[in-house]
Structure 1
Amino acid sequence: MFKVIKCNELNEKLINKKVEVNAWVKKIRHHGKFIFLNIRDRYEKAQVLVNEEYLLKITEKIKLEYCIKIQGLLIKRPPNMINANMKTGHFEILAKNIEIISKCNELPFMIEDDNNASENSKLEYRYLDLRRDSLKNKIILRSQATHLIRNFLVKRKFLELETPTFVKSTPEGARDFIIPSRIHKGTFYALPQSPQLYKQLIMIAGFDKYFQMARCYRDEDSRGDRQPEFTQLDLEMSFVKKENIFKLIENMLFLIFKNCINVNLPKKFKKITYKKAMNKYGSDKPDTRFELELQDISRNLKNSEFNIFKDTLKNKGSIKILIVKNKADKFSRTKINNLEEIAKLYKTQGLYFTKIENNKFSGGIAKFLKTEEQNLIKTYSLENNDIIFFTANNNWETVCKAMGQIRLKIANDLGLIDENKFEFLWVYDFPLFEYDENTK
């Protein structure tokens, strides 16, 4: 009798025992009178040794990604054949029976993390792409995190409640997906952009703690942080202050990161107001994994003869700078032009720069800053090979947003962002309303 197990269950206790594994073929290695099959399932990888003549004939028909059933003896590998990179690398299955469960056509791409397949090809053959370790691990991680969230919130007396997905169209941040009604001719449902209205009704009904893994739909162009369909953790609480929300989310994220990826987050996250975030980082969701902060230079340029700055200050606008220390030699004319395009996109008065060479301004708008030069060098502790970027606009928010995007572009280009670092923070005191630029 063969014991049916998963690849990760192969262990020393099963040596010389009969085992049965159902898995997919990852690699095939021919060595004359025997063949090695590297197989994998959701849990782990394992090696199969085929050396009996009647099984070799079956194995010759097997191709990559065939789904097969292996029955055999678990044996120790010879010392020189041990693979320390595999959890099951100290043993292998000596095949006694092989059954092809399902065949596979020629693969459109290799099932490897570093394959060169196009995104369209990966989506067309999604079931193959999901076999890659990196993507498979993300799917598993998402499941683990969702399970932890549910347990965490239920223990704190939250109710998991579902809200409708066919709703009335209401003004929100994006366009609605519209669904025509078959019964009520000429009328339409909308798919929810969020459960906002319904969770408020739940609070009014007296259910003071609610959550759901809410499916949301927004008819907008896809970007790195935008999708037409996505899932979000949605929760609502009655009779609480923002400090209660801070503590709840901090504890929940601490639990998720510790249990899912063994990372210890700080028990309390940094906090920053919306206005300070915009002033320092040019974003209401700032990346603080690198320093590179914006600075307001309006006061220092109040007597400037540079017309752009003079007009901006006359109209009570804002001038901000970004100082990149000891990297001026990294900025070619082409790179600066690319940054200027960002400033144009945000309709600022343009992006200007100057470098520090021989302890004075050089290039860019240096000739317009002769009066302020020494004061600025002293005030901002400028040194040789520093570069300063300036932008100005009558609208404070426009300047902040433009410089925020320029800041991110510079950080990415110079490799300033530590992708392995987690830097959570709360941004609070958002404005309740924003001006509509077309109607204000």
Structure 2
Amino acid sequence: MRSHYCADLVTLEEGSELSIAGWVHRRRDLGGLIFLQIRDRSGIVQVTVEPDQGDVFAAADQLRSEFVVVVKGKLRKRPENMVNKDMATGAIEVVADHIECLNAAETPAILIDGHEEVSEETRLKYRYLDLRRPEMTEKFLFRTKVTSALRRYLDEQGFLDMETPILTKATPEGARDYLVPSRTHKGSFFALPQSPQLFKQLLMMSGFDRYYQVVRCFRDEDLRADRQPEFTQLDIETSFMDEEGIMGLMETMIRKLFSELLSVELPNPFPRMPYSEAMEKYGSDKPDLRVDMPIHTVDDLVKDVDFKVFSGPALDDNGRVGVLNLKGGAANVSRKNIDEYTKFVSVYGAKGLAFIKVNDRAAGLDGLQSPIVKFLSAEAAEAILQRVDAESGDILFFGSDTSKVVADALGALRLKLANEHNLLRDEWQPLWVVDFPMFEEEDGQLQALHHPFTSPKELDPDALKANPTGTLSRAYDMVLNGCEVGGGSIRIHNMDLQQTIFDILGIEPQEAREKFGFLLDALKFGCPPHGGIAFGLDRLVMLMVGASSIRDVITFPKTTTAGCPLTEAPARVSEAQLKELGIAIEQKK
């Protein structure tokens, strides 16, 4: 039926006979000539139908947009003055000598050949139409190239493509599990995997020392632009390799991917930044280095000022006073803008947002405009201006609270200001964030910052228990333009150390046995040192194609409420199915 894809016709010689199949993208009737644009996944080509062709002309006259057709004909070069430079096939056309309509189409709910704005709800409801749009098709063709390139690299490095179970056991990995009731074990449930973490560790214990998998994962959590309840990750694990070896292997893979598909040369090696520096300078463990606007700490400069909003946190071990300097922003930021920014940072726990406009840097206090200037001495003000490299025309924003609130609030404000004032440099900025804390405290309870199978740098059990919050982990995250695209760590391969981590986390031996007994047993039988990483494939592709949401690079995504407009899932099931599973739904009164 088809001899060539549309895009491949440019390789043929004039006069070549061919057959193409696809959809009618556009139809134009001009003075007895009919021009059709035929579209397939590779692109679009023009078909010319001349009036003396009888049945062929009559068939073309009946076609409309999105009709499915097969066209046979000969290739012809267009005259120089009729070349369409906006089309990859714009220098050629097909002169039809046979047209067959394979299927008619109703008027589509989404205009395929236009650029009109369509709501995301409509796009997802008619996703099969949305995916026909050339800009969407290009994204998924590119995604295929990404997956192929990653597989090819890992195959060349001796990694084995191995599958792990989808129906498994619930494990605590920081998000809620999707549960699947068992018909044969009534009252018991499988869980869909949040990641293949434990199984890939078991594969290392089995002797398959280099594993990878392009795997579907599931997390029942609140959604946003870069998250979905089901997503795809490139999962990798290897034995007998430390973090330096793994990070080197992975950044080579990403450099090669960008060079091959985008002709972009990423730095070699990627820069590294400790977690503590990332949080202090950028208020985020995934800093966007395209923005040259760090958060400056000025605790030492304001601890003695007669302004308790500053001096209080500055003198508190858990407090902090931080400053952002929006270069040249004084003239562009109105009082209304400042009120909006104050409301914005309140979402992150900030009780206010102080500011200083630097109208005349050389004039000292007289050149500053702000309600808080009266609380600052000339010496303190000058020291702050020097610390943040202030110049005339700048505006400074102050965060003063606990260290966490200041980091969260100013870190978010930093990105908001960068977007509003076009401060994002047009370049790629990869980064390894390292030296994460092993634990974080939440509501008085210690939690693993990554997961409880990450190895600490401190291997002595007594020292670990004596200072758990001061212990660093052997974890590493790859960040690209402010997005975490990959996260990994060296794992614990010693049973005693694993038990120590469980003890610190308050996981009792019986609970550990119930949840991880199979892993603890495997650790007894000669477990090699091992580590790995997982890349968010959807997020990586989203960045590479310049999409604003991962929903644009997932074929059939869910909405922000975890629903599917196309299939109307989730949906109720019949009473018979529930009864067979031994499940009764209790209606709320």
When normalised by structure 1's length, the TM-score is 0.95
1:355 paired residue number: 357
Deviation sequence 1:194-253 (CA, Å, 0-9, x none): 111111111222222111112110111221121101001111122222111221111101
Q: Which amino acid aligns with 1:434?
A: E
**Whole-angstrom distance in 2 between the partners of 1:411 and 1:229:** 31
Q: Is it true that 1:16 corresponds to 2:21 in the alignment? A: no
Alignment of 1:176-325 (within 5 A): 176-316=177-317, 317-325=319-327
2:560 paired residue number: none
Alpha carbons of 1:221 and 1:139: their partners in 2 closer, same or farther (altered >3 Å)? same
Q: Which amino acid aligns with 1:99?
A: E
1:50 paired residue number: 49
Which stretch has the larger CA shift, 102-111 or 9-18?
9-18
Q: Which amino acid aligns with 1:14?
A: E
**Whole-angstrom distance in 2 between the partners of 1:163 and 1:355:** 58
Whether the aligned pair in 2 keeps the contact of 1:354 and 1:389 (CA below 8 Å) is yes
The secondary structure found in structure 2 opposite 1:22 is strand
Q: Which amino acid aligns with 1:30?
A: D
Whether the aligned pair in 1 keeps the contact of 2:305 and 2:377 (CA below 8 Å) is no
The secondary structure found in structure 2 opposite 1:14 is coil
Whether the aligned pair in 2 keeps the contact of 1:113 and 1:134 (CA below 8 Å) is no
**Whole-angstrom distance in 2 between the partners of 1:293 and 1:351:** 17
Superposed structure 1 runs of 4+ greater than 6 Å apart: none
User: How far apart are residue 439 of structure 1 and its match?
Assistant: 4.6
User: How far apart are residue 379 of structure 1 and its match?
Assistant: 4.0
**Whole-angstrom distance in 2 between the partners of 1:326 and 1:109:** 44
The secondary structure found in structure 1 opposite 2:301 is helix
The secondary structure found in structure 2 opposite 1:434 is strand
Which stretch has the larger CA shift, 430-439 or 181-190?
430-439
Alpha carbons of 1:379 and 1:3: their partners in 2 closer, same or farther (altered >3 Å)? closer
**Whole-angstrom distance in 1 between the partners of 2:311 and 2:7:** 70
The secondary structure found in structure 2 opposite 1:268 is coil
Deviation sequence 1:154-180 (CA, Å, 0-9, x none): 221211111111111111111111111
Q: Which amino acid aligns with 2:83?
A: I
**Whole-angstrom distance in 1 between the partners of 2:39 and 2:83:** 17
User: How far apart are residue 276 of structure 1 and its match?
Assistant: 0.6
Alpha carbons of 1:338 and 1:328: their partners in 2 closer, same or farther (altered >3 Å)? same
Q: Which amino acid aligns with 1:49?
A: T
**Whole-angstrom distance in 1 between the partners of 2:354 and 2:17:** 74
The secondary structure found in structure 2 opposite 1:329 is coil
1:412 paired residue number: 419
Whether the aligned pair in 2 keeps the contact of 1:304 and 1:310 (CA below 8 Å) is yes
Whether the aligned pair in 2 keeps the contact of 1:113 and 1:133 (CA below 8 Å) is no
Q: Which amino acid aligns with 2:29?
A: H
1:381 paired residue number: 389
The secondary structure found in structure 1 opposite 2:331 is helix
The secondary structure found in structure 2 opposite 1:37 is strand
User: How far apart are residue 364 of structure 1 and its match?
Assistant: 3.7
Q: Which amino acid aligns with 2:268?
A: K
1:75 paired residue number: 76
**Whole-angstrom distance in 1 between the partners of 2:2 and 2:214:** 38
Which stretch has the larger CA shift, 405-414 or 149-158?
149-158
Q: Which amino acid aligns with 1:269?
A: F
User: How far apart are residue 3 of structure 1 and its match?
Assistant: 7.9
Which stretch has the larger CA shift, 273-282 or 81-90?
81-90
Whether the aligned pair in 2 keeps the contact of 1:361 and 1:373 (CA below 8 Å) is no
- Structure 2 unaligned regions, length at least 5: 362-366, 447-589
Q: Which amino acid aligns with 1:4?
A: S
User: How far apart are residue 112 of structure 1 and its match?
Assistant: 4.5
The secondary structure found in structure 2 opposite 1:176 is coil
The secondary structure found in structure 1 opposite 2:58 is helix
The secondary structure found in structure 2 opposite 1:99 is strand
1:40 paired residue number: 39
CA-based RMSD of the aligned residues comes to 1.8
**Whole-angstrom distance in 2 between the partners of 1:13 and 1:378:** 67
Which stretch has the larger CA shift, 117-126 or 70-79?
70-79
Aligned length: 437
Alpha carbons of 1:327 and 1:351: their partners in 2 closer, same or farther (altered >3 Å)? same
Alpha carbons of 1:209 and 1:368: their partners in 2 closer, same or farther (altered >3 Å)? same
**Whole-angstrom distance in 1 between the partners of 2:287 and 2:442:** 23
Deviation sequence 1:372-406 (CA, Å, 0-9, x none): 22332344332221111111223x23321221111
**Whole-angstrom distance in 2 between the partners of 1:252 and 1:347:** 40
The secondary structure found in structure 2 opposite 1:330 is coil
Q: Which amino acid aligns with 2:37?
A: N
**Whole-angstrom distance in 2 between the partners of 1:258 and 1:381:** 37
Whether the aligned pair in 1 keeps the contact of 2:21 and 2:71 (CA below 8 Å) is yes
Deviation sequence 1:20-75 (CA, Å, 0-9, x none): 11121111111121110011211132111111243232222211111111111222
The secondary structure found in structure 2 opposite 1:121 is helix
Q: Which amino acid aligns with 2:434?
A: Y
1:116 paired residue number: 117
**Whole-angstrom distance in 1 between the partners of 2:388 and 2:17:** 74
**Whole-angstrom distance in 2 between the partners of 1:358 and 1:9:** 63
Q: Is it true that 1:159 corresponds to 2:160 in the alignment? A: yes
Q: Which amino acid aligns with 1:25?
A: V
Alpha carbons of 1:260 and 1:409: their partners in 2 closer, same or farther (altered >3 Å)? same
User: How far apart are residue 278 of structure 1 and its match?
Assistant: 0.8
Which stretch has the larger CA shift, 287-296 or 259-268?
259-268
**Whole-angstrom distance in 2 between the partners of 1:437 and 1:301:** 30
Q: Which amino acid aligns with 2:211?
A: Y
**Whole-angstrom distance in 2 between the partners of 1:95 and 1:21:** 10
Alpha carbons of 1:297 and 1:112: their partners in 2 closer, same or farther (altered >3 Å)? farther
Alpha carbons of 1:86 and 1:403: their partners in 2 closer, same or farther (altered >3 Å)? same
Deviation sequence 1:282-329 (CA, Å, 0-9, x none): 110100012001110000112111111122133221111101111112
Whether the aligned pair in 2 keeps the contact of 1:308 and 1:349 (CA below 8 Å) is no
1:138 paired residue number: 139
Whether the aligned pair in 2 keeps the contact of 1:3 and 1:18 (CA below 8 Å) is no
Q: Is it true that 1:4 corresponds to 2:3 in the alignment? A: yes
**Whole-angstrom distance in 1 between the partners of 2:374 and 2:443:** 35
**Whole-angstrom distance in 2 between the partners of 1:379 and 1:147:** 49
User: How far apart are residue 268 of structure 1 and its match?
Assistant: 1.3
The secondary structure found in structure 2 opposite 1:137 is helix
**Whole-angstrom distance in 1 between the partners of 2:234 and 2:97:** 49
Q: Is it true that 1:339 corresponds to 2:320 in the alignment? A: no
**Whole-angstrom distance in 2 between the partners of 1:381 and 1:421:** 24
2:376 paired residue number: 369
2:561 paired residue number: none
Whether the aligned pair in 1 keeps the contact of 2:49 and 2:57 (CA below 8 Å) is yes
The secondary structure found in structure 1 opposite 2:441 is coil
Structure with higher RCO (Cα < 8 A, 6+ apart): 2
Whether the aligned pair in 1 keeps the contact of 2:358 and 2:392 (CA below 8 Å) is yes
The secondary structure found in structure 2 opposite 1:322 is strand
1:398 paired residue number: 405
**Whole-angstrom distance in 2 between the partners of 1:3 and 1:347:** 61
**Whole-angstrom distance in 1 between the partners of 2:334 and 2:257:** 43
The secondary structure found in structure 1 opposite 2:224 is coil
- Structure 1 unaligned regions, length at least 5: none
Which stretch has the larger CA shift, 264-273 or 9-18?
9-18
2:89 paired residue number: 88
**Whole-angstrom distance in 2 between the partners of 1:35 and 1:195:** 56
2:364 paired residue number: none
The secondary structure found in structure 1 opposite 2:268 is coil
Identity %: 39
